Amino acid sequence: MSHPRILVARSVFPEVIARLEQHFDVTSNQPDETWSKAQLIEKLQGKDGAFTTGGERIDAEVLAACPTLKICANMAVGYNNFDIDAMTAAGVLATNTPDVLTETTADFGFALLMATARRITESEHFLRAGKWGKWSFDMFAGSDIHGSTLGILGMGRIGQGIARRGAHGFGMKVIYHNRSRLDAAQEAGCKASYVSKEELLRSADHLVLVLPYSPASHHSIGAAELALMKPTATLINIARGGIVDDAALALALREKRIAAAGLDVFEGEPRVHPDLLTLSNVVLTPHIASASVPTRLAMANLAADNLIAYFRDKKPLTPLNPAALASR
Instruction: For 149-168, write each residue's pLDDT tens digit.
Output: 999 999 999 999 999 999 99
Query: Could you say which of 23, 57, 257, 287 is catalytic?
Result: 287
The percentage of the chain sitting over the pLDDT mark of 90, rounded to a whole number, equals: 96
**Alpha carbons 106 and 210: distance in angstroms, whole number:** 9
Residue 296: band (very low, low, confident or very high) from pLDDT cuts 50, 70, 90: very high
pLDDT score at 5: 98
pLDDT score at 1: 62
Q: Which residue has the higher pLDDT, 239 or 1?
A: 239
Whether the per-residue pLDDT at 54 is higher than 90: the answer is no
Query: Could you say which of 61, 103, 199, 269 is catalytic?
Result: 269
269 in catalytic set:
yes
5-100+293-327 and 102-284: identical CATH topology: yes
**Alpha carbons 170 and 204: distance in angstroms, whole number:** 15
Query: Could you say which of 165, 240, 273, 296 is catalytic?
Result: 240
Contact of 50 with 59, CB cutoff 8 Å: no
Per the prediction, the chain carries an average pLDDT of: 96
Verdict on whether the full-model pTM lies above 0.75: yes
**Alpha carbons 127 and 123: distance in angstroms, whole number:** 6
pLDDT score at 326: 84
Q: What architecture (CATH level 2) is domain 5-100+293-327?
A: 3-Layer(aba) Sandwich (3.40)
Amino acid symbol at 279: L
Question: Please, which residues have CB within 8 angstroms of residue 12's CB and are 6 or more apart in sequence?
Answer: 28, 51, 53, 75, 300
CATH (residue range 102-284): 3.40.50.720
287 in catalytic set:
yes
Read off φ and ψ for residue 58, nearest 5 degrees. -110, 105
Residue 328: band (very low, low, confident or very high) from pLDDT cuts 50, 70, 90: low
pLDDT score at 259: 98
Is the bond preceding residue 270 a cis peptide, omega within 30 degrees?
yes
Residue range 275-287: average pLDDT? 97
pLDDT in tens, 30-48: 999 999 999 999 999 999 9
**Alpha carbons 69 and 220: distance in angstroms, whole number:** 34
For the chain, the structural domain boundaries read: 5-100+293-327, 102-284
pLDDT in tens, 64-111: 999 999 999 999 998 989 999 999 999 999 999 999 999 999 999 999
C-alpha dihedral, 61 to 63 to 64 to 67, nearest 10°: 160
pLDDT score at 214: 87
